[in-house]
Structure 1
Amino acid sequence: METQTASEDKPQTAASSRIPDRVTATDAALTLIRTLKDIHGPVMFHQSGGCCDGSAPMCFALGDFKTGAQDVLLGEIEGSPFYIGKAQYEYWRHTQLIIDVVDGRGGMFSLEGPEGKRFLTRSRVFSDDEWAALKDSEQTDQTA
Structure 2
Amino acid sequence: MTDVEKVIATPAAVALIEKLRARHGALLFHQSGGCCDGSSPMCYPRDDFIVGDRDVLLGTIGDAPFYMSPSQYEYWKHTQLIIDVVPGRGGMFSLENGEGVRFLTRSRLFTDGEVEALVAAGRF
The reply to whether TM is greater than 0.5 is yes
Note the C-alpha offset of 1:51.
Answer: 1.2
- The number of residue pairs the alignment matches comes to 123
Match of 2:44 in 1: 60
Note the C-alpha offset of 1:91.
Answer: 1.3
Matches within 5 A, 1:40-119: 40-119=24-103
Amino-acid identity (%): 59
Matches within 5 A, 1:28-47: 28-47=12-31
Structure 2 unaligned runs (5+)? none
8 A Cα contact 2:90 2:102, kept in partner? yes
Note the C-alpha offset of 1:19.
Answer: 2.6
**Residue 5 of structure 2: SS of its match in structure 1?**
coil
Alpha-carbon displacement from aligned partner over 1:48-75 (angstroms, at most 9, x marks no partner): 3131214000000012111111211111
8 A Cα contact 1:95 1:126, kept in partner? yes
Match of 1:6 in 2: none
8 A Cα contact 2:60 2:66, kept in partner? yes
Structure 1 unaligned runs (5+)? 1-16, 140-144
Match of 1:131 in 2: 115
Q: What TM-score do you get using the length of structure 2 for normalisation?
A: 0.95
Q: What TM-score do you get using the length of structure 1 for normalisation?
A: 0.82
Q: Which has the larger radius of gyration?
A: 1
**Residue 114 of structure 1: SS of its match in structure 2?**
coil
d(CA) in 2 for partners of 1:105, 1:97: 20
Match of 1:8 in 2: none
